[in-house]
Structure 1
Amino acid sequence: MTDHPPGSGNQPEEPTPQPEGGSAGTPPAGVPPQAPQPDSPYARPQSQSQSPYAPRSEPQQPFASPQGQQSQAAQQAEGQQSYAAQGAQPHMTQEFAHTPWPSAGGHTAVAPQQPHKRRGGLVAGVAALALVCGLVGGGVGGYVGYQFGGAQAPGVTSLDESRPARSVSTAPAGSVQQVADKVLPSVVQLQLVTARGGGEGSGIVLSGDGYILTNNHVVAGGGSGGRLTAQFQDGRSARAQVIGTDPKSDLAVVKADITGLTPAELGRSDDLPVGAPVVAIGSPFGLSGTVTSGIISAKDRPVRAGGESGGEDTVLNALQTDAAINPGNSGGPLVDMDGNVVGINSAIYSPGNGQGQAGSVGLGFAIPVDQARRIATELKEKGTATQTTLGVLIGAGDQPGALVRNVVPGGPAEQAGIRSGDLITKVDARSIQDPDSLVAAVRSHAPGDRVKITIGGSGGERTVDATLAGQG
């Protein structure tokens, strides 16, 4: 509550100016005393306002003489004396006690002033009039209260209202809700317990009999005495075993001892445009079934999934998204608005000194599904996967690009005429800014793909064709 300074707040109004020759509450000599009237907007003296019920062409008659012989001047004088007697009142005290009501003639009807000797008849008349005014006042009061207080009765709150009918509407097509309804049954929470500790992440159901795709770093150690458990959206859980892992692509396939699962639908990532809306689903910080949404922020982003201490083996050719991805989302799906998987969430950007557990800053990275599909198929069938290679050892130079330090004998690079000291600046139309860019670009292809390699440097620019090879 705000305190009011002295002199503020509800202060009495200035007294009503009094007629000359008299004071408030004391009528001049020779004039009979009048009963004070409440300061009601419905009972104003003629000198102040007209009755709302009287025609504008006729003056209001606030005090009608019983015999109808009193002159208008006398009536006005009597009204002014009565108004002066009551004084100024800042608030109405009895709002409807003396509320006027239109008579048959259109003028305001008020009980006539009778001498005290006719008290008996006057009491009966006043009683009847009071009953009518009470009913009228109640109706007018109800109307005014409705206008100022709304349709609800006094004291009624939102808590008193009945619950609405249960919503039976379906999710709009292409909405995040519809995507979540479709994909959630195909998302798994994975928990790993080993002798050195434990960890958790997410996975994607590949088949009804328990094959699950996830990240290698989620299940690393699960095949050497660790206990891996899969928790499903329908509340069931089952032990799982590692079928195959590929650290270079950070992908793994595990098999849960369960049936009756709902496999996810895999989409494609090669034609996914930047700015396309996407949804990420997983178990961040152990909160299973968490749904977040965003867009594809960038494509072909070279990312070291293992951080700065990681080597070439952890470089990803990633999709970048601003959908919230946190620890525990790893291995879960990134899906388009048709509910098709377009990426496997794998890494997040973590600014700062690395102390404590990282969280989302709107920079998440996912393995494109086109690459993940090929690797997962090999892991499921053979337990291992082949990586695409150009057959060179590279490093950083003093110019943008990847500097060739050595060429593998008989490899794709040697066959294409690439030599040590060459600076690779493009793979097809993709610009190469550093060694990680070249690794990501090559691994985005499958073994056997033919690509154009642009070589720059002091010797000028040239282009060669190379057929990429596979390496286990």
Structure 2
Amino acid sequence: MTDQPTTPPPGHNPYFQHPVPQGPPPSGPPTMTQPLPVRRPRRAGLTATVVATAVVVGGLAGVGGAAVYSSLDGEGSSGSSASASPSTSQVVDTPDTPAPDGSVEQVAAAVLPSVVKINVSGTEGSGSGSGIILSSDGEILTNNHVAEVAGQNGSMSVDFNDGTSAKATIVGTDPLTDTAVIKAEGVSGLQPATIGKSSDLRVGQSVVAIGSPFGLDSTVTSGIVSALDRPVDVGSDGQGNTTTYPAIQTDAAINPGNSGGALVDLDGKVVGINASIRTAGSTQGEAGSIGLGFAIPMDEVMPVIQQMINGETPTHARLGISVADASGQDTTSTTEGARVEEIGSDSTAGKAGLDKGDVITKIDDHVITGADSLVATIRAYRPGDQVTVTYLRDGQTKTVSLTLDSDASSSSS
């Protein structure tokens, strides 16, 4: 949601080292998985050209389809022996029946009042994103990359589903989980969303995405959960802290402007925050949906969200090590995991006996396939949680239990 992203080349995540949760920033080109950019206003001439092109293409498709149908139907051919009797369209009464339980229609009716469009403007530009109402008096959840466009001196407003709008201010932001809380001013009686448990999701389960793609507020799309716990790395800040999370992957159409909107189950409960997409390139700088969208799972970020609401600085769990993909370090080995590159001083990993060169393959029952996988998995825990780390050392599998550190006293995580 910052300036228009430049689509990077295809391929796996090129970052060599990833802080988990401290260390120098990774180097190399950005990944293809990226936060959804703000839908920024285009020049009128370009917009008109795009619309006109769409209309022309649609018209050609319609004429072609009609021509084929007429040919097959035999209308207008010399072999026709009689004229068909003319007919006219019928007007019928369509009763307004209630939407079936668990239908997309029912979910949309229930959740649309709890999702908003967010308009942001700052020194680097302007655009729009989406948000989820958390309280009746205006607390709204969104992505950090939506809120940060406003910066310190920018402006922000919220458009509600009923057509009203209000100014908004930032309550708190957390770049590491790409979440933020804002507050709409002078409002009451809003309909808060119902928060569900993302841990209850199953692959293949139907979900609905609600937001404002390309500025089109109150847009509803549907699909399924394509995968769970997908490590998604959307970049890092100046201190080397990566924004990596164990994402919900979905084929529900998600586009620029959907950022911060709701991913809900068919009970109408919010299970994720739509945040990023996989791009296949775009000649206009803003790629559209290719069926690979990613949402931040609610279970992992609710503690962070509550900290921001309470006016606290968000904290995150950490091992206190820097790692790299194990498979990329030794061409003779096919072992997948996160190879320890550095051990932080006085870190919980160091105290537990982990050493440089160890390859972490599991955290509890979560299989670790690389550096991003480890970072995303640790981000799903909270400081003080106890975990069992499985690792390889000199070809031998070892395990150790440790208590995760907090980044409360450090800028690194």
Following the alignment from structure 1 to structure 2, what is the Cα–Cα distance between the partners of residues 311 and 364? 25
Q: Which residue, 169, 175, 182 being the options, matches 1:247? A: 175
The equivalent residue for 1:35 is none
Alignment of 1:161-310 (within 5 A): 161=90, 163-257=91-185, 258-306=187-235
Deviation of residue 430 (structure 1)? 1.8
CA distance 1:232–1:310, change in 2 (3 Å): farther
Shift in Å, 1:189? 0.2
Change (3 A) 1:353 1:187: closer
Q: Distance in 1 between matches of 2:288 and 2:237?
A: 18
1:148-205 per-position Cα deviation (integer Å, ceiling 9, x unaligned): 98xxxx54411xx3x3335221000000000000000000100101132112100000
Asked whether the 8 Å contact 2:223–2:250 carries over to 1, the reply is yes
Aligned match for 1:367, one of 257, 271, 296: 296
Q: Answer yes or no: is 1:454 the counterpart of 2:387.
A: no
- 1:351 maps to 280
1:268 touches 1:369 (CA, 8 Å); kept in 2? yes
- 1:315 is displaced (CA, Å) by 1.1
Q: Distance in 1 between matches of 2:87 and 2:281?
A: 53
CA distance in 2, matches of 1:224, 1:382: 17
Taking the TM superposition and a 5 Å limit, the aligned residue runs for 1:15-414 are: 155-158=86-89, 161=90, 163-257=91-185, 258-306=187-235, 312-352=241-281, 356-396=285-325, 397-398=329-330, 399-414=335-350
Verify the 8 A CA contact 2:142 2:180 in the aligned structure 1: yes
Q: Indicate conservation of the 8 Å contact 1:211/1:253, yes or no.
A: yes
Residues 415 and 247 from structure 1, CA distance in 2 versus in 1: closer, same or farther, beyond 3 angstroms? same
Determine if the alignment matches structure 1 residue 469 to structure 2 residue 392. no
Q: 1:339 corresponds to which letter in structure 2?
A: G
Letter in 1 for 2:133: V
Amino acid of the structure 2 residue aligned with 1:410: D
Q: Cα distance 1:353–1:190, how it changes in 2: closer, same or farther (>3 A)?
A: closer
Kindly tell me: are residues 255 and 10 of structure 1, through their superposed partners in 2, closer, same or farther at Cα, counting changes over 3 Å?
closer
Helix, strand or coil for the counterpart of 1:465?
strand
| Counterpart position of 2:57 | none
With 224-233 and 430-439 compared, the bigger mean Cα shift is at 430-439
Higher gyration radius (CA): 1
Shift in CA distance, 157/369, structure 1 to aligned 2, threshold 3 Å? same
Give the Cα separation in 2 of the matches to 1:211 and 1:166: 39
TM-score (norm 1): 0.65
Residue 51 of structure 2 corresponds to none
Of the two structures, which has the highest relative contact order with CA contacts closer than 8 Å and spacing of 6 or more?
A: 2
Structure 1 segments unaligned to the other structure (5+ residues)? 3-7, 12-89, 92-147
How far apart in 2 are the matches of 1:424 and 1:391? Answer: 13
Give the Cα separation in 2 of the matches to 1:355 and 1:431: 38
- Deviation (angstroms), 1:251: 0.3
The one-letter code sitting in structure 1 at the alignment partner of 2:367 is S
**2-side partners of 1:462 and 1:307: how far apart?**
31
**For the structure 1 residues 461 and 9, does the alpha-carbon distance in structure 2 shift closer, same or farther, using more than 3 Å as the test?**
closer
Which is strand-richer, 1 or 2? 2
Q: Which amino acid aligns with 2:392?
A: G
Is residue 190–residue 200 contact of structure 1 (8 Å, CA) maintained in 2? yes
Secondary structure of 2:199's counterpart equals: coil
Shift of 1:400: 2.0
Structure 1: which amino acid aligns with 2:88? T
Give the AA of the match of 1:199.
G
Residue 405 of structure 1, CA deviation: 1.6
Of the three residues 417, 427, 436, the one matched with 2:363 is 427
CA distance in 2, matches of 1:451, 1:383: 25
Aligned-partner residue type, residue 390 of structure 1: L
Q: Deviations over 1:40-68 (max 9, x none)?
A: xxxxxxxxxxxxxxxxxxxxxxxxxxxxx
Aligned pairs, how many?
Answer: 326
Query: Out of 374, 381, 386, which is 1:445 matched to?
Result: 381
Amino acid in structure 1 at the alignment position of 2:225:
I
How many angstroms apart in 2 are the aligned matches of 1:172 and 1:310? Answer: 50
Q: How far 1:9 moved relative to its partner?
A: 5.5
RMSD between aligned residues: 2.6
Asked whether the equivalents of residues 123 and 150 of structure 2 are also in contact (C-alpha less than 8 Å), the reply is no
